[in-house]
Amino acid sequence: MGFSESAYVTKIAGNGTILCQVCGTRIALSHSAAKNILVEQVARR
């Protein structure tokens, strides 16, 4: 599984395990996995 460059990622909750939503699907990521993802903040949709 991977994220594309144009995927919208929303952090739902978490500090240790991160719950996020990517293209309508909720995904739980470990802190170590989440810190390897580069994101750019955009205006709210």
Reported as a single tens digit per residue, the pLDDT across 13-44 is 988 899 999 888 899 999 898 888 888 888 87
Residue 3 has pLDDT above 60, yes or no: yes
Sequence-ordered list of residues with C-beta below 8 angstroms from that of 18, at least 6 positions apart, any chain: 11, 28, 29, 30, 31, 34
Q: Which residues pair with 28 in a beta bridge?
A: 19
Flag whether pLDDT at 2 surpasses 80: no
User: pTM for the full model?
Assistant: 0.65
Over 80: is that where the pLDDT of 10 sits?
yes
